[in-house]
Amino acid sequence: MLLKDKVAIVTGGAKGMGRGIALKFAEEGAHLVLCDLDLDGARAVAAEIETRGGQALAVRTDITCSADSERMVAYTLERFGTIDILINCAGGVAGTHGSGNSETITEEEWDRIVDLNLKGPFLVTRAVLPTFKAKRSGKIVFISSMGAVSPVVSVLHYHSAKAGIIGLSLNLAFELAPLGICVNTVVPGPIETPFWDALMPPGPERDAFFAAVSRHEVPLGRIGQPKDIAGACLFFASELSDYVTGQTLCVAGGQPMLSQQATFNIEAYLKERGILGEGA
């Protein structure tokens, strides 16, 4: 029970990596606060945790709104009395339909995606920090993306925001280390989550795509699962990493070992099959 009686906030906890992290943390004894715009989904995960004997609170939260983040923190403190862990997992590219290069992104679209993936995690972190500073302890984990450091398809606004997450994490780690607060980043590679649904619905075509990515892009030869990210987050959230801060961990099946020349051209693969438009 690496997290026994610890209170963990997981943004984006209704599905995908956030759900996987929440379930893993609950197994390790944590009390969970699940923040998501999808309140029904967050409640379903909370019910799943409680069915297994854990404690969980679902809170509808728009992380791009500072008032929402502050209200969520107030609910957490009212229910559990403290906060020990923050996992900044919420984000994504919903509504972009694969468009994402410098010719197709509008200013409004840029602002929307950067707000969700960079401003939002900052606002949630800022809302939690007074509690961490008062305790002189706390664990913060940011979720970035392999596209931030080694893009294989043009999703310029999303990848730029996720690169910003790494910079935000490093700066916070430097600022907060004297207060005993640890800040680290997990960089996922290809992970099978609902993130892919808008681009490529589940089915034989997506199975074939994942098989091709696994074969050409991932040295370990498989697409990652939410539990793979959950394991890395558990390390950063637990006492196992009490002397670790300011670190960026790639959880990508060995992807960073590949040279740029050796990578599988995912963008070309999608365009050949009409999944990604020529303007994307």
Q: How far, in Å, CA of 72 to CA of 61, rounded?
A: 7
How do 7-11 and 248-251 pair as beta strands? unpaired
Q: How far, in Å, CA of 251 to CA of 238, rounded?
A: 17
Q: How far, in Å, CA of 241 to CA of 246, rounded?
A: 11
Q: 10: which DSSP letter?
A: E
Where are the strands (E) in 218-261, listed by range?
Answer: 248-251
CB atoms within 10 A of CB 11: 27
Residue 243 known to be catalytic: no
SS3 label, residue 19: helix
Q: Active site residue: 75, 158, 243, 269, which one?
A: 158
Structure tokens at 20: 């996987």
CB 87 within 8 A of CB 9: yes
Q: How far, in Å, CA of 58 to CA of 76, rounded?
A: 10
Q: How far, in Å, CA of 109 to CA of 72, rounded?
A: 26
SS3 label, residue 130: helix
Cα-Cα-Cα-Cα dihedral of 5, 6, 7, 13, to 10°? -100
Structure tokens at 273: 């099959």
Angle among Cα 23, 28, 29 to the nearest 5 degrees reads 100
CB atoms within 10 A of CB 59: 24
Active-site residue list: 158
